[in-house]
């Protein structure tokens, strides 16, 4: 997901957001939580709408850097960390999958400023302005308690669609994006906590989705684009990564791959992926000490 935030301190701006920008997929994503009264769940979902209404694709491109031989590239980005398979040798991508345990998030309070982090698999967004992505996230602030949730995002409208809101740290998550012609099936499964799983099939819409990258990413707000710094989170370990290009299926290292380090401004911690395992389907993404 390419992120761009409007100021969340100016509540007047939120009032100008079109209703379509803050759609919540209630029927598919309503999560049961016996410990939370119904009216509180509704208030929570409304708060999440407001906090995430401005999250949509931006137009800043990727920068490839520090080429090391003909294999792995080391890349820095302002708000992404993880791995991406690129189209430097003409690849286009038809599917991407991955699994993880939802990280523990700290330093994220109800009364403090908004903070958010997202974890996802996706097609496009690394070198293009279209995105087809699904995953989990965590957000807090401006009166909203720390909430872990599932979501999807699809170009060209780009608006974040929140699904379940009762994801818990340690939940077992699997996610996939599978292309069939100009449609994309985005699925996220929380096999630990009921009510957070979903599957949706979406057309590419008015824009042509390029399918020029596949990603496994932890994401933050770009510096200077809004008021949502990263919270502190435990390492995100991505496993069981698969990807398909043409008729060839493989893992992250089967195609031209990029290790992406998120370089943030103080006081946030940069986020850096560790090396891929020998089969190329697992890595750990960790915040670095400032």
**Sequence spans of domains, the chain:** 11-287
List, for residues 247-284, the tens digit of each pLDDT value: 999 999 999 999 999 987 655 679 999 999 999 999 99
The pLDDT score that the predictor gives to residue 66 is: 40
* pLDDT, greater one: 20 or 56: 56
List, for residues 210-230, the tens digit of each pLDDT value: 999 999 999 987 554 455 788
Q: What percent of the chain has pLDDT over 70?
A: 73
Task: Work out the mean pLDDT of the chain and round it to a whole number.
Answer: 80
What number is the average pLDDT over the span 142-168? Answer: 88
Distance of CA 64 to the CA centre of its chain: 20
List, for residues 70-82, the tens digit of each pLDDT value: 468 999 888 899 9
* Mode of pairing for the β-strands spanning 161-162 and 144-154: antiparallel
The pLDDT score that the predictor gives to residue 1 is: 56
Asked if the bond preceding 113 is cis, omega within 30° of 0, the reply is no
**Which of 27-41, 62-76, 146-160, 220-234 has the largest mean confidence?**
146-160
Q: Is 120 exposed, middle or buried (0-12, 13-18, 19+ CB in 10 A)?
A: buried
pTM across the whole model: 0.83
Q: What is the largest CA-CA distance in the chain?
A: 57
List the single range of 85-99, 157-171, 172-186 with lowest mean pLDDT. 157-171
Quickly state the pLDDT bin for 62 (edges 50, 70, 90).
very low
- Distant-in-sequence, close-in-space partners of 94: CB < 8 Å, separation ≥ 6: 178, 179, 211, 244, 245, 246
Domain 11-287 adopts which CATH fold? Jelly Rolls (2.60.120)
Whether pLDDT at 231 is above 80: yes
Whether pLDDT at 44 is above 90: no
């Amino acid at each position: 997901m390419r992120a761009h935030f409007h100021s969340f301190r100016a509540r007047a701006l939120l009032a100008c957001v079109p209703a379509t920008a803050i759609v919540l997929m209630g029927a598919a994503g309503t999560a049961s939580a016996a410990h939370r009264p119904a009216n509180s769940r509704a208030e929570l979902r409304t708060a999440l709408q407001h906090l995430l209404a401005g999250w949509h694709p931006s137009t800043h491109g990727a920068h490839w850097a520090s080429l090391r031989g003909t294999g792995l590239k080391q890349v820095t980005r302002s708000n992404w960390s993880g791995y991406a398979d690129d189209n430097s040798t003409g690849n286009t991508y038809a599917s991407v999958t991955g699994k993880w345990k939802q990280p523990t998030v700290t330093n994220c309070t109800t009364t403090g400023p908004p903070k958010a982090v997202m974890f996802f698999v996706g097609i496009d967004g690394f070198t293009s302005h279209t995105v087809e992505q699904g995953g989990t996230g965590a957000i807090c602030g401006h009166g909203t308690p720390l909430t872990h949730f599932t979501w999807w995002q699809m170009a060209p409208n780009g608006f974040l669609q929140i699904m379940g809101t009762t994801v818990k740290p340690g939940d077992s998550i699997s996610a996939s994006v599978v292309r069939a012609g100009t449609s994309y099936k985005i699925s996220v499964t929380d096999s630990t906590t009921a009510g957070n799983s979903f599957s949706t099939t979406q057309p590419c819409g008015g824009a042509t989705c390029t399918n020029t990258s596949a990603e496994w990413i932890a994401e933050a707000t770009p510096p200077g684009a809004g008021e949502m710094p990263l919270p502190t989170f435990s390492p995100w370990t991505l496993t069981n990564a698969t990807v398909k290009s043409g008729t060839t299926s493989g893992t992250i290292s089967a195609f031209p791959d990029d290790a992406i380090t998120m370089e943030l401004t103080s006081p946030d911690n940069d986020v850096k992926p560790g090396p891929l395992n020998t089969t190329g389907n697992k890595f750990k993404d960790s915040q670095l000490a400032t």
